[in-house]
Each structure stands twice: as structure tokens, then as C-alpha cells.
Amino acid sequence: MAEDIRGKVEWILGGKQNGQQPQQQAQPPAASISSPSQPIIQQAPAPPAPTQALILTPLPQAQPLPAAQMAKPIAQNPTPAAPRRSNGVNINLLSQQMLDAMAGEEKITFVLNEVKVGKILVLEYGLTPAEQTKLIERTMMEIDPETFIGIEIQSYSAEAKHGFFQNIFGKAARPRMTVIGPADLLRIVHKDNQVIQTMVLTGKNA
């Protein structure tokens, strides 16, 4: 596939994960890791043209909203559709509240429908392991050789929970920031405990 690689995006996670140190071979991020109080998205300093870089830091733990303020069910009310062959790429950042408002199957359907129309999703907190396998399973059912070859998905390892009640009741570890996109549009360049580095391939689908 001869695609123009125009956009390069780094999804950088602040803080240390599960007490693990970064891998020796890991490349340092484009800028120092921001604190949660900094803007969610900031332009990285002087990225080499034509590469564009975005730095994302995770939001602090969001408080649940009252039911009346919760987002409406998304599957029936998707984010505004953008034409696949437009001049840009849709990158949607989805909050924890938005995803929590959806049941498991509804969440999978929503993610898959959005990705199939060419959107790249960044989930503030990702999918559980069971949801990830369900998404892969549903993706395999939807693959069409000519129009949809699957998804690219990357997340950090789940945060371990070692609290008393988690140990007693076996509560699943909390998933973490996740990026999902169409496999013909999003490519993972590098990943370690601190950075997910991606490229957006715009030549074929723009």
C-alpha cells in the first residue's frame, strides 16, 4: 500500500504504571510528561515538518454525574458523522462518563460503528479485557476485504487494583487510556509503558 504518511501522533501517559520502570529501549517522549492540571491537548514544541505531534495526558479521575446530566445513549446518537473522504481525520476524545453511560454491547457497537466510518477514538479509560475480546470478535465479523480490514487498537496495561475489596470480590483491573482506529488509517509506530506513538495514514482515505 503506498500511502502518504502525514500525521504522527503520540499518546503519552503521565505517571508511572504499576510500579514498572520504562523499558531501557524506550524512546523519550517529545516533551516532558505533563501533569493532569495542564491542558489535555497541547501542541508539542517545534515538531519536525511535516510530522504533527499531539501530547495527551490522562484526565484526573472524573466524578460521576447525576443521572439527569449523563450523556444520552450514544449508539442511537452517534457523534456527528464526518464524510470519510474529507480533508481531515476525525480524532474523537471520549470521556469516561460517556462510555460508562453505555452497556457493554452498546459500547462495542458504538466503537465499531465509529471506527468503520473512519474515526479515530481516544478513550479516557479503555475497555475491559472482556470488552476488548468482544470488540475483536465483532471486528472479525465485520471485516470486508474491500472496505474494512479491521481495527488498530492500543492501550496501556490495566491498572492493578490491590485493595481489600478488590482482592475479595475479584473486581477487574481498571482499563486505561486507549486509542482505536481503522487499521487502514491508524498505524502503531511504537509502544511502551509510557508512550503510544501512532501514525495517521491519510493518503489512502483522505
Which parts of this chain interact with other proteins (CB under 8 A)? Answer: 1, 20, 23, 25, 103-105, 128-134, 136-137, 139-141, 143, 145, 149-158, 170, 172-173, 175, 183-184, 188, 191-193
| Nearer CB in complex with other proteins: 145/163 | 145
What's the closest the beta carbon of residue 3 comes to other proteins, in angstroms?
12
What's the closest the beta carbon of residue 19 comes to other proteins, in angstroms?
10
Please identify which residue in the block is written with the cell numbers 482482592.
167
| Nearer CB in complex with other proteins: 65/172 | 172
Contact 174, 161 (CB under 8 A): yes
Distance CA 199, CA 9 (A): 6
Distance CA 89, CA 181 (A): 11
What's the closest the beta carbon of residue 137 comes to other proteins, in angstroms?
5
- Cell numbers linked to 121: 477514538
What's the closest the beta carbon of residue 149 comes to other proteins, in angstroms?
4
Contact 164, 53 (CB under 8 A): no
Of 24, 44, 31, 7, residue with least CA distance to 193: 24
| Nearer CB in complex with other proteins: 4/105 | 105
